[in-house]
Chains A and B, each alone.
Chain A
Amino acid sequence: MQGLDFSVVPPYADILWMGVWWTAVLTVSAAAISFIFGVGFALVVLYAPKAVALPVRAFMWLFMGTPLLLQLFLIYYGLGQLGFKIPALVAGIIGLGLHFAVYNADILRAGIVAVDVGQTEGARSLGFGRFQTLRYFIVPQAVRNTIPAMGNNLIVLLKESSLVSIIGIAELVHAAQLAISETFRPFEFYITVAALYYILNLVLEAGLRRVEQNVEVSR
């Protein structure tokens, strides 16, 4: 047992800041993928012909029933086996993005179904095509109504992005591990990293609250 000494942390401030930066980059990129694919999956499941919808549903079912960590291994090593030589960072972003796309799709599907039928009827009777109706009337309303639920997913995504350190991406956890390998002070660095995640989390929550308020006001 050795005493705790947090003065070992400040010399590694630069490395930790780089970690924060990469965690932010990861989270934002994965969030973009999770939103785009989330909308895509939801539309496919609801409107695509069975031959297309079934595989997507199977994929969603598979990704909802297994741990993210396992999925990251699958994507990192699996894409390599298929001949795609991609860097760990890309694999991490794709893995996180697809994992949360599945959860967003589940939310959005419910959101799309919940949009009043009158909206579709109104748009169709004005002469909008089926695709245009979805594009300009249904999806925007569904997205707006599901922002709080998808915001919760985003908060989970920020925390779960810590998992990609396992496949060797140099984000916040990885930065801490680097510092620990030199100082042998896991407690101090992991507590520091926990505090940094906590702050990132607060910032994200405050941001989401503002977005929700804006959506509420413009309604």
Chain B
Amino acid sequence: MDFSLVQRVFPFFVEAAWITIEISVLSLALGLIVAFLVAAAKMSRSLPLRAFGSAYVSLFRGTPCLIQLFVIYFGGPQIGINLEPFAAGVIGLGLNIGAYMAEAIRGAILSVDRGQTEAARSIGFSRFQTMRKVVLPQAARLMIRPLGVNAVALVKGSALVSTISVVELTYTAQRYIGSTYKPFEIFGVAAVLYMLIVYVVARIVDLLDRRYAIA
């Protein structure tokens, strides 16, 4: 183990870790928006919307995230979409995780007892009111865990954007492995930072889960 190397490269890795955090947070935000829209589409009464929701989930979950990023970043210019690597990364990861999170949201909504909907409807709530005031508040609790699992997966999945030359943790690690030939030391540094981020995300999910748990 070459600890002077670790000391020397560490500041660069901390900087790269911030990019990983930025990418993760932004694509998580985008993913949540996409997920709620897609879940709503999948559960709507309109057949075309339902078909769209199902197709979205099936296509984004049935193909590799790497290819989705490549289509957006390398294929985009051919259809007039020119994106910086960072923006392409956020959009690619966000659209991808959105498909997984949509299923988590839908699952939570479906597991709220049907009687709740029936009762709300029978006392005169509209479908929208029932969803917003009765079902969603109860489903929100049930979503925290599965969405948290997705958030952790997203942090690790964000390594993929290194392939479209976003200078985040994995990109930095790859570059230093190539220039120093010290794969174990470099992996160690990157691993510590990834696990720190993952740990913080898991803690936040734990706290939210406990905060909103049914007493």
Contacts and interface: CB of A to CB of B under 8 A. Distances in A.
Contacts of A202: 62
Contacts of B174: 73
B170 interface: yes
B191 A62 contact: yes
B163 A66 contact: no
A191 B191 contact: no
Interface in B135-193: 156-160, 162-163, 169-170, 173-174, 177, 181-184, 187, 190-191
Nearest to A198: B62
B7 interface: no
A17 interface: no
Contacts of A62: 191, 195
A62 B198 CA distance: 11
A70 B187 contact: yes
Interface string A193-215: 11001100110000000000000
Contacts, number: 117
B75 A74 contact: no
A146 interface: no
B66 A201 contact: no
Nearest to A158: B64
A187 B159 contact: no
B160 A77 contact: no
B56 to A, nearest CB: 13
A197 B177 CA distance: 30
Give the dominant DSSP class at A's interface. Answer: helix
B190 A66 contact: yes
Interface string A56-69: 00000010011111
B159 A67 contact: yes
A134 B199 CA distance: 34
A88 interface: no
- Chain A residues touching B, range: 35 or more
Interface residues of B, number: 40
Interface stretch (A30-38, A116-124, A136-144, A160-168): A160-168
Given A193-B67, A194-B63, A185 B78 contact: yes
A2 interface: yes
A1 B159 contact: no
Given A66-B156, A70-B187, A74-B187, A159 B63 contact: yes
30 contacts: A1-B79, A62-B195, A65-B191, A67-B159, A68-B159, A69-B159, A69-B160, A70-B170, A70-B173, A71-B187, A73-B170, A73-B174, A73-B187, A74-B184, A80-B183, A159-B63, A163-B160, A173-B64, A186-B71, A186-B74, A186-B78, A187-B74, A187-B76, A188-B75, A190-B71, A193-B67, A194-B71, A197-B62, A198-B62, A201-B63
Interface of B: 59, 62-68, 70-71, 74-80, 156-160, 162-163, 169-170, 173-174, 177, 181-184, 187, 190-191, 194-195, 198-199
The 9 A-B residue pairs with the shortest CB-CB distance, nearest first, are: A187-B75, A67-B159, A186-B74, A77-B183, A162-B64, A65-B195, A78-B183, A74-B187, A159-B64
